[in-house]
Amino acid sequence: MTPESEAWAEGLRADAAASRVDGREAGRPTAAFAAERALLAAHLVAWFDTELPGLLAERAAEAARGGHGLAPEPAIVLTTTEAGCAAAAELLDRDDPLTRQLRGRFACVTELEYRRWCMRHPDDEYRLHMAHWSWMKTRVPPQWWPRFARWPLGTGDSYWLHRTGTAGAGQERRSSHLWKWNGTTAALLKPFVDETGSVV
């Protein structure tokens, strides 16, 4: 990382740590938190092991072409939930060559922490960082449920939306995946839906 990228990422990590209010999920059932953590962990492992190397190569190639002062080795910001931060901490604790190489470039924060930092220290063109988001919307409002009528719920079930994407490494990518939660387990209903319920 360049010193500028490193300072930006370190500032984000420090700001998030100083302002984080733990326990916002305190009233949530343990099973729901554990299921969300497991789903986000599975996504993050797959993204880290299969997609991230290609994204970093794409970013380095764009920087080599003189892409708007892009840092060829950017900070990597992961925005997620408390459950996702716990999953990311486990992932970044792995002892393999890729993880050891990239660990210091990561900042794992909530979406609110990231947005607040970027308002004060903007990097709109992603010169210093790339961002990957992966979080579960576990409280899909009931007024949205008719959008997903093709994938009906059982009694007592609710919808979850897994929102994920990456910006700052080539063209921005984003997707949503529809899950159902029955109070005990989560099950994938439909990958790649838009939030109007249409298949992407």
Report the percentage of the chain scoring pLDDT > 90: 70
**Among 11, 19, 5, which residue's Cα sits nearest to residue 113?**
19
Asked if 77 and 115 touch (Cβ cutoff 8 Å), the reply is: no
- For residues 106-131, average pLDDT: 94
Residue 94 sits at φ, ψ, to 5 deg, of: -60, 155
- For residues 43-66, average pLDDT: 92
Higher pLDDT, 69 or 123: 123
Which segments within 9-150 are labelled E, that is strand?
75-80, 106-110, 129-137
Q: What is the pLDDT of residues 130-176, one digit of tens each?
A: 999 999 999 999 899 898 999 999 999 999 999 999 999 988 999 99
pLDDT reported for residue 200: 47
pLDDT reported for residue 22: 61
Q: Which helix (H) or strand (E) holds 10?
A: helix 3-19
- pTM attached to this predicted model: 0.89
Residue 199 CA to residue 65 CA, distance in Å, equals 36
DSSP state, residue 48: I
Q: What is the pLDDT of residues 167-200, one digit of tens each?
A: 999 889 999 999 999 999 999 999 998 776 555 4
- For residues 9-37, average pLDDT: 84
Q: What number of CA atoms fall less than 13 Å from residue 74's CA on the CB side?
A: 31
Q: What is the tally of helices (H) and strands (E) in the chain?
A: 6, 6
3-state helix, strand, coil split of the chain in percent (to 5) is: 45, 25, 30
pLDDT at 23 > cutoff 60: no
Name the least confident of 13-17, 45-49, 92-96, 162-166: 92-96
Mean of the per-residue pLDDT values for the chain? Answer: 90
Residue 71: pLDDT band with limits 50, 70, 90: confident
* Dihedral angle computed from the Cα positions of residues 98, 104, 106 and 109, in that order, rounded to the nearest 10 degrees: 140
pLDDT reported for residue 166: 96
